[in-house]
Amino acid sequence: MKTRLVTLTMFTFFFMIFSSAEIVNFLPAVVKGQLLDSQTGKPVHGAHVFIVRGEEEVFSSAKGDFHFKTWNVFPLTVTVEHKLYKSVNLRVTSETDQLTVKLTPIK
């Protein structure tokens, strides 16, 4: 009787987990890309790239690259800020291979 109850409990548990439409996957999404100057095409380093300020954020590398993981659900709004460029809000609808973001210098 105890074995049967344990089996039934396990079956119910796994059925609930794997049949749920809310669970897309068990891994965080990766958001990555490169920031470029829209006029020169050169990489923009030191830009603040974030979804949630203070939680899911990075600064772009010397090559303009950024990369971070998020547990947030798509679509996401990714914000890019740099003191020499206009801020950009990007709507990201799915995990992509590489985002290319061209930043416009402030004049």
Q: Give the chain's end-to-end CA distance (angstroms, integer).
A: 77
Distance in angstroms (rounded) separating the CA atoms of residues 98 and 71: 18
Q: Is residue 78 scored above 90 in pLDDT?
A: yes
Residues 62-89: what's their mean pLDDT? 94
Domains of the chain and any CATH numbers: 28-103 (2.60.40.1120)
Q: Is residue 23 scored above 60 in pLDDT?
A: no
Distance in angstroms (rounded) separating the CA atoms of residues 107 and 103: 12
The pLDDT score that the predictor gives to residue 19 is 54
Please report the sign of the dihedral spanned by the C-alpha atoms of residue 30, residue 35, residue 41, residue 42: negative
